[in-house]
Amino acid sequence: MRFVQNFPFFCILLTLICTVISSVLSGKKARMMTVFILGADWVLNAFTLADVLRTGESFAFRMGHFAAPWGNEIRVGVAEALAAQVLLTVILLAVLAGMKRSTVGVEKSKSALFCILCDLATLAMLALVYTNDLFTAYVFIEINTLAAAGLTMSRQNGRSLAGGARYLIMNLIGSSMFLLGVVLLYIITGQLLMVPLRETLATLDLNGQYRVPLLMALLLITLGLGMKSGLYPFEKWLPGAYPNALPTASALLSSVISKSYIFLLIKIYTRVIGFELVRQTGILNVILVMGCAGMIMGSVKAVRSRTTRMMTAYSSIAQIGYIYMALGLGNELGMLAALWHLLAHSMTKSLLFLSGSVLDEASGGTHQRRDLRGVFYRSPLAAVCFAVGGANLVGVPLLSVFITKVTMAEAAIACGGWRLALTLAAMVVSTLLNAAYFLGTASSFFSPREGMKEQRVKGSRLTTAALAVLLAVNVVFGLMSQTLLPILQTALQAIV
């Protein structure tokens, strides 16, 4: 075993240790520690990514060197390492951008708690991306839920507490459904590690055994993770959670926490059940329809939103719909589009939430979209970040979501029939609505307010630097799509 193969485990262990130590540190020291550990995770994961890209093979790291079904292991391939790298980048930049503002409204004695929640979210994300064991996945899903509920309530006002309660209830239903699904899978196979589970399921399928329990398990896992990631119509918790949290928390909730659930679902479909078997059950048709409905309903609600935060939150429902719609197409291209959009949306949504909060501050703490007129002259970088993020989600060429939409259209054409008609119709309607709310809002940034002298508002240098890097990462990700897409395609084939 090469030494670099220990790095994913080191990342998880380091973050866990950091979480414990932060609980006895002051707010400032806890923030420094979080940034340091995130940086260390980023570097260690970059080495892992470079290693798996070089060898082109995935590897398993056994905890305590026990074999299945006794042992527990993590499995790392290009898809896992790339997803972890993108999500770690987002977390690091979101924490840096919101470093100063994460203490606003939080009692001084409790300011270290926010860092602990960020550490826990990072820990859970790494574990969910890397784990090869379904019960470990359940444990980290619950840790993710606890961290997310804390982040949702980070603003500590009535709205964020009520949003947190709603988030917790809906997400716990999702967790329980996932647990029941895992229990059913364990009962019919006697396995919890993903690869042995897949082999047992293939034998059962060949003999035509346990078809109904398998369908039930698949349904419970899909709906459980769908509910937790904001799949329509189970997204009722989302409008109360994202807009009422602190900017960094909103960025983590929308870009990292929900995405780690979807990544886990993709792994379960490909590595545990087998995509062919999933397709046979017909469950993909259900998530295709739900995804399309989410794309339209999320966009309609975003158009009607009066605040940028609410608009960005509703837009998340539409974008999550895109990912599920692509998954629901049930072919390799659809899966590729889903994974690509998962990464692209993760980067773009954090850019939107973080730049949106800077724009609100530069406009006198407003939350109304109409008050952002001429904000480019008060906070140019944040205005450009929001405009580029919005343009990206609309699908402007050269940016990453354009690639998503082209790949999704190709996947739909390969499917043909009613799936093609439904997908294209949903994409056209959703894109038009996206353009209406994002470009409509962004265009007002560049028209100065009548009779008012615009003055540049000075913000935190760290926030400005983090936003600039996030903007650059978004643009580069889109421009490098010709290189990255084939890598992701190979990674998907190797995820099995």
Partner 1 sequence: MGIWERLTGNFPEVASVALICIGFAMLLFSRNLFKKIIGMDIMDSAAYLFLACQGYITGRAAPIVADGVQAMEAYINPIPAGLVLTGIVVSVSVSALSLALAVRLYARYHTMDIDEIIRLAGEEEV
Contacts with partner 1 by CB under 8 A lie at 69-70, 135, 138-139, 142-143, 145-146, 149-150, 153, 157-159, 161-166, 168-169, 172-173, 175-176, 179-180, 183, 186-187, 192, 240, 307, 367
Pair 343, 81: CB distance under 8 Å: no
Whole-angstrom distance, CA of residue 305 vs CA of residue 311 = 5
In the complex, the smallest distance separating the C-beta of residue 244 from partner 1, rounded to whole angstroms, is 8
Pair 353, 254: CB distance under 8 Å: yes
Apex CA 313: angle with CA 241 and CA 288, to 5°?
105
Whole-angstrom distance, CA of residue 471 vs CA of residue 389 = 8
Residue closer to partner 1 by CB (options 35, 139) is: 139
**DSSP-derived pairing of the beta strands 72-76 and 59-63:** antiparallel
Residue closer to partner 1 by CB (options 154, 307) is: 307
Residue closer to partner 1 by CB (options 233, 486) is: 233
Give the Cβ contact number of residue 263 at 10 Å: 25
Residue closer to partner 1 by CB (options 165, 202) is: 165
- The H helix count followed by the E strand count for the chain is 21, 2
Alpha helices in 98-157 (DSSP H): 111-130, 134-152
Pair 289, 154: CB distance under 8 Å: no
244 vs 248, 250, 313, 351, 388, CA distance in Å?
A: 11, 8, 10, 17, 24
Whole-angstrom distance, CA of residue 415 vs CA of residue 330 = 8
Residue closer to partner 1 by CB (options 42, 135) is: 135
Sorted by sequence, the CB contacts under 8 Å of residue 63 that are 6+ apart come out as: 9, 71, 72, 73, 74
Residue closer to partner 1 by CB (options 145, 348) is: 145
Residue closer to partner 1 by CB (options 142, 332) is: 142
Residue closer to partner 1 by CB (options 118, 192) is: 192
Question: Which one-letter DSSP state was computed for residue 157?
Answer: S
Report the first-to-last Cα separation within the chain, whole angstroms.
21
Whole-angstrom distance, CA of residue 155 vs CA of residue 246 = 6
Q: Is the peptide bond before 8 cis (omega within 30 degrees of 0)?
A: no
Residue closer to partner 1 by CB (options 110, 159) is: 159
In the complex, the smallest distance separating the C-beta of residue 256 from partner 1, rounded to whole angstroms, is 20
List, in sequence order, every residue forming a beta bridge with 72; answer none if it has no partner. Answer: 63
Pair 97, 462: CB distance under 8 Å: yes
Whole-angstrom distance, CA of residue 97 vs CA of residue 105 = 17
In the complex, the smallest distance separating the C-beta of residue 162 from partner 1, rounded to whole angstroms, is 4
In the complex, the smallest distance separating the C-beta of residue 370 from partner 1, rounded to whole angstroms, is 15
In the complex, the smallest distance separating the C-beta of residue 143 from partner 1, rounded to whole angstroms, is 8
Residue closer to partner 1 by CB (options 192, 323) is: 192
In the complex, the smallest distance separating the C-beta of residue 418 from partner 1, rounded to whole angstroms, is 32
